[in-house]
């Protein structure tokens, strides 16, 4: 069966009170229209047409080649929006799935079940509905005495009796494509909002003797249409629960489900444990058997198997299997750790590649650096990569030892197995196997400690009497 999709995404979303167009507001890190397009893709639609208007360029550039686009220049209603797709889809035979761009929680399972019912019943239209305790704001599904759907009435057009109906239109539908475009040409804007309602197609079908079905979902989350920030917050927390549950089903332990913030596209391996305060964002991939958190913020990064990340932030970086990060480490973009590396407390890495088994255990800054395997960078050692104008590179060979509090003034190259003694400020390359010492030689002055104390004491006494 040929299934096509039309996603309505032209509205501005005035009730959001936002500079950002409504359908681009993220839910669990992904613009709501992205969730909707994910779902229609999973439902194997042959074509996806997105109706754009407000923020057309932004929506189009976000979705890219995942969809075809039609422009609705003026937002004259959801029916008018669908009509814009006529040029692309009008001649097609098959089923057209229409989804509002502001209902990101609708699932592919439900969409598929609705399509199945639609096909089995030979209906002209099938509406996805839900029963809300408080249906305010949604279109009401009005059924006749036999229980068949008769029409959908918008909140603003409801009589008191209609307003009391709790079954609502979720804004997701299946239509016979030809019949849809045919009926749309008979929709008028004679209603409280002066708009061409897509929902009027339902009443038109019924009056013309066509069958209309309703598929009522029991998962109320699916029905949420986001019109304001309150609904956005509700959708965020419902989607968050859904995502956490998916990872739990896949074998991830989540110690405190309420404090795990996992964005939609994050992948996590089995037997990984998420401690409270874990935020996993963007395209992050976490391996198996990891311990993440407490308090870890990881964005667009790839973490191997058996990695520990505690009280740390990681952005656009990679950590090899068996590595340990934190507490209190900051991995900025371009940090790449090999296997079994250790990044300890108050260490900042930026654009730094470390080979297997290398350690930066405390109080270091390593930026714009290429570090070999088995390297130890001592406490407080730093790369001096910036002269106020230029960034320069530090290269450290395999098995080198960088002592505590060393300054490596880049550009500089430390050879394999070299040893840089603590406190050195290194301005020249160190050949492999050499020892570099770049600090003042120590001088001890016998008995001088008492002398310096009594001088200091005398100075303090003088200042009291002045």
Positions touching ligand UD1 (CB under 6 A) are 8-11, 23, 51, 53, 72, 75-78, 80-81, 100-103, 138-139, 152, 154, 168-171, 197-199, 225, 227
Residue whose pair of structure tokens reads 């002055």 in the numeric block: 445
Residues of this chain, 206-265, that bind Ca ion according to CB under 5 A: 225, 227
Residues 6 or more apart from 102 whose CB is under 8 A from it? Answer: 11, 13, 22, 23, 32, 171, 225, 226, 227
Closest CA to 296 of 258, 346, 330, 254: 330
Minimum CB–partner distance for residue 89 and Ca ion (Å): 22
The interface region with Ca ion, picked from 98-106, 195-203, 246-254, 416-424 by CB under 5 A, is: 98-106
Gap between the Cα atoms of 48 and 386, Å rounded: 49
Nearer to ligand UD1, 47 or 413 (CB): 47
Minimum CB–partner distance for residue 249 and Ca ion (Å): 30
Peptide bond into 143 cis (omega under 30): no
Nearer to ligand UD1, 128 or 412 (CB): 128
DSSP letter, residue 220: G
Nearer to ligand UD1, 3 or 33 (CB): 33
> How distant is the alpha carbon of residue 117 from its chain centre?
33
Residue 190: count other Cβ atoms within 10 Å of its Cβ: 10
Instruction: Return the one option of ligand UD1, Ca ion, none that residue 247 interacts with (CB less than 5 to 8 A, by type).
Output: none
What SS3 state is found at 106?
A: coil
Identify whether the C-beta of residue 79 lies closer than 8 Å to the C-beta of residue 187: yes
Nearer to ligand UD1, 184 or 418 (CB): 184
Tell me the residue number closest to Ca ion, measured at CB: 225
Instruction: Return the one option of Ca ion, ligand UD1, none that residue 413 interacts with (CB less than 5 to 8 A, by type).
Output: none
The neighbouring-strand residues paired with 408 are 383, 426
Gap between the Cα atoms of 63 and 159, Å rounded: 40
Residue 308: count other Cβ atoms within 10 Å of its Cβ: 21
Gap between the Cα atoms of 412 and 418, Å rounded: 13
Nearer to Ca ion, 227 or 257 (CB): 227
Residues of this chain, 46-75, that bind Ca ion according to CB under 5 A: none
Nearer to ligand UD1, 11 or 294 (CB): 11
Nearer to ligand UD1, 77 or 322 (CB): 77
* φ, ψ for residue 307, nearest 5 deg: -95, 140
Minimum CB–partner distance for residue 101 and Ca ion (Å): 9
Instruction: Return the one option of ligand UD1, Ca ion, none that residue 123 interacts with (CB less than 5 to 8 A, by type).
Output: none
Residue whose pair of structure tokens reads 């963007």 in the numeric block: 282
Minimum CB–partner distance for residue 173 and Ca ion (Å): 14
Minimum CB–partner distance for residue 410 and ligand UD1 (Å): 52
How many chain residues interact with Ca ion (CB under 5 A)? 3
What SS3 state is found at 86?
A: helix
Which candidate in 247, 362, 413, 428 is catalytic? 362
Gap between the Cα atoms of 89 and 256, Å rounded: 47
Q: Active-site residue 362, yes or no?
A: yes
Minimum CB–partner distance for residue 195 and ligand UD1 (Å): 7
The neighbouring-strand residues paired with 280 are 262, 298
Minimum CB–partner distance for residue 132 and Ca ion (Å): 14
Instruction: Return the one option of Ca ion, ligand UD1, none that residue 76 interacts with (CB less than 5 to 8 A, by type).
Output: ligand UD1
Nearer to ligand UD1, 102 or 348 (CB): 102
Residue whose pair of structure tokens reads 């002398």 in the numeric block: 451
| Out of 79, 102, 371, 420, the residue judged to bind Ca ion by CB under 5 A | 102
The interface region with Ca ion, picked from 101-109, 116-124, 186-194, 418-426 by CB under 5 A, is: 101-109
Gap between the Cα atoms of 435 and 400, Å rounded: 10
DSSP letter, residue 222: G
Gap between the Cα atoms of 139 and 132, Å rounded: 11
Minimum CB–partner distance for residue 227 and Ca ion (Å): 5
- Chain contacts with Ca ion (rule: CB under 5 A): 102, 225, 227
* Residues designated as active site: 362
């Amino acid at each position: 069966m040929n299934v096509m999709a039309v996603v309505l995404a032209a509205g501005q979303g005035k009730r959001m009170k936002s500079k950002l167009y409504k359908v681009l507001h993220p839910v669990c890190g992904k613009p709501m229209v992205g969730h909707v397009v994910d779902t229609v893709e999973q439902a194997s639609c042959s074509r996806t047409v997105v109706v754009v208007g407000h923020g057309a360029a932004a929506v189009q550039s976000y979705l890219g080649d995942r969809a075809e686009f039609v422009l609705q220049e003026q937002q004259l209603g959801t029916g008018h929006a669908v009509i814009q797709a006529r040029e692309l889809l009008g001649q097609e035979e098959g089923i057209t799935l229409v989804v509002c761009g502001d209902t990101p929680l609708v699932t592919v399972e439900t969409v598929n079940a609705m399509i199945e019912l639609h096909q089995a019943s030979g209906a002209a239209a099938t509406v996805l509905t839900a029963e809300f305790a408080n249906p305010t704001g949604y279109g009401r599904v009005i059924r006749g005495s036999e229980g068949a759907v008769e029409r959908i009435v918008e909140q603003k057009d409801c009589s008191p009796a209609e307003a009391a109906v709790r079954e609502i239109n979720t804004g997701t539908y299946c239509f016979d494509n030809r019949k849809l475009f045919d009926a749309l040409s008979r929709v008028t804007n004679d209603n409280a909002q002066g708009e061409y309602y897509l929902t009027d197609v339902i009443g038109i079908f019924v009056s013309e003797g066509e069958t209309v079905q309703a598929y009522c979902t029991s998962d109320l989350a699916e029905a949420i249409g986001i019109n304001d920030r309150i609904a956005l917050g509700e959708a965020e927390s419902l989607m968050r629960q859904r995502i956490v549950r998916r990872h739990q089903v896949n074998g991830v332990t989540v110690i405190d489900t309420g404090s795990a913030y996992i964005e939609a596209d994050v992948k996590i391996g089995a037997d990984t444990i998420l401690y409270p305060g874990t935020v996993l964002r963007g395209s992050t991939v976490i391996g198996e058997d990891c311990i993440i958190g407490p308090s870890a913020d990881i964005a667009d990064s790839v973490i191997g198997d058996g990695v520990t990340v505690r009280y740390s932030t990681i952005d656009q970086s990679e950590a090899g299997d068996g590595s340990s990060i934190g507490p209190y480490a900051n991995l900025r973009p371009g940090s790449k750790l090999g296997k079994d590396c250790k990044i300890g407390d108050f260490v900042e890495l930026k654009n730094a590649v470390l080979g297997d088994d290398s350690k930066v255990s405390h109080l270091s800054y390593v930026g714009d650096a290429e570090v070999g395997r088995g390297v130890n960078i001592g406490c407080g050692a730093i790369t001096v990569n910036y002269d106020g104008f230029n960034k320069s590179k530090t290269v450290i060979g395999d098995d080198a030892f960088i002592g505590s509090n060393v300054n490596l003034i880049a550009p500089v190259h430390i050879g394999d197995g070299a040893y840089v003694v603590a406190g050195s400020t290194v301005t020249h390359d160190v050949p492999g196997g050499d020892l570099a010492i770049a600090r003042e030689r120590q001088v001890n002055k016998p008995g001088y400690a008492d002398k310096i104390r009594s001088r200091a004491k005398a100075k303090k006494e003088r200042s009291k009497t002045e």
